[in-house]
Amino acid sequence: MSTFQTLTWLREKRSLRLLDQRRLPTEEFFLECRDLQQVAEAIKTLTVRGAPAIGVAAAYGVVIGIQEAVAAGNSINAQTLADIIEKLAATRPTAINLFWALERMKKAGEKSLKNDFDKDDLRDLLLAEADRIYAEDDQAHHQLGEFGIQLIPAGARILTHCNAGALACAEYGTALGVMRAAQAAGKNIKVYADETRPLLQGSRLTTWELLKEKIPVTLICDNMAAHCMAKGMIDLVIVGADRIAANGDTANKIGTYSVALAAKAHNLPFYVAAPTSTIDFSLADGAAIPIEERDPDEVRFFGEKRTAPAEVAVYNPAFDITPATLINAIITEKGIFTPNQLSGVR
């Protein structure tokens, strides 16, 4: 259990409460989502972010969508369910957990719709499935953390990029989950966090989270990673993932590929930590992973201050692909695998 709740289903209010990650670290503000549009906007605008957390939020978004349709007196049928899922699926293209969770909600809903059903029964069935997705997410990441401990030597100095902690999941975290488990095991680790331009998830979120968990952390700029490796300050790298292809190619926050190249050049282990729900076996390799491109102003501005000419052209991909050849191991809740062993996970 983390010292904060990224997302919470409020049972009496039948709404989803989200810790607004856009406002961290200066303000801890909770947004309460009561309708489908609010959930979709929260995912799209990064109020909630991180592949596992997006999946969990979307699952509860389906429940909210059905509640909204019932309250409006609309017909409740397979098309109603499909429209709700389509709206949520359109929010972000790269994180496979979003589509994995929505597929589970679709199957749960369709099973009920095929039989004689009561609208309240349908809502309760969907809520139960969303609760299962939440619980399985938390359990998987605890198991992942326990497996990951064996890769962490005592006193390890770990570099991470972006945020793959409790903020990006239901409660525990993937890459940061391994670090939390290592710290709890008395390994006395130290973390270096890349700032992660342009939206600064490393500096705003990862450092905030690790400080709350009392795990020593040092913030560095993105362009300092290779320098720190050359100076002997880093022992290994652990990152999360938004989608992993069948061959082990991994999509993660933009800049991850550069870190992996630097780790390879300095003979440092590079590990990916992700649940098996993040593996997309339908894609042979990373070339087929869709890469989200975001608003150019995220690059033209640093916070609210413009730092580039307003008219300058901007390329702003949110993710890049780290080839499997640069990845030493993938840590999952089923165990630790090299990329070429992923077929066994399937």
How wide is the angle at C-alpha 223 spanned by C-alphas 220 and 229, nearest 5°?
75
Q: Where are the beta strands (DSSP E) in 128-170?
A: 157-160
Catalytic residue among 194, 242, 249, 280: 242
All domains of the chain in start order, with CATH: 7-142 (1.20.120.420), 148-345 (3.40.50.10470)
pTM: 0.94
Which stretches of 149-242 are DSSP H helices?
175-184, 201, 207-212, 225-230
Please provide the DSSP assignment of 83-110 as one string. Answer: HHHHHHHTS-SS-HHHHHHHHHHHHHHH
Residue of 199, 196, 198, 193 whose CA lies nearest to 220: 193
Tell me the pLDDT tens digit for each residue of 154-177: 999 999 999 999 999 988 999 999
What does the alpha-carbon distance between residue 48 and residue 45 come to, in Å, rounded to a whole number? 8
Q: Which phi and psi angles does 337 have, rounded to 5°?
A: -135, 145
How wide is the angle at C-alpha 206 spanned by C-alphas 308 and 239, nearest 5°?
95
DSSP letter for 223, please.
Answer: G
pLDDT band (50, 70, 90) for residue 2: low
Tell me the pLDDT tens digit for each residue of 229-240: 999 999 999 999
Report the mean per-residue pLDDT for the chain: 95
Indicate if 137 belongs to the active site: no
Tell me the pLDDT tens digit for each residue of 255-282: 999 999 999 999 999 999 999 999 999 9
Q: What is the pLDDT of residue 116?
A: 65
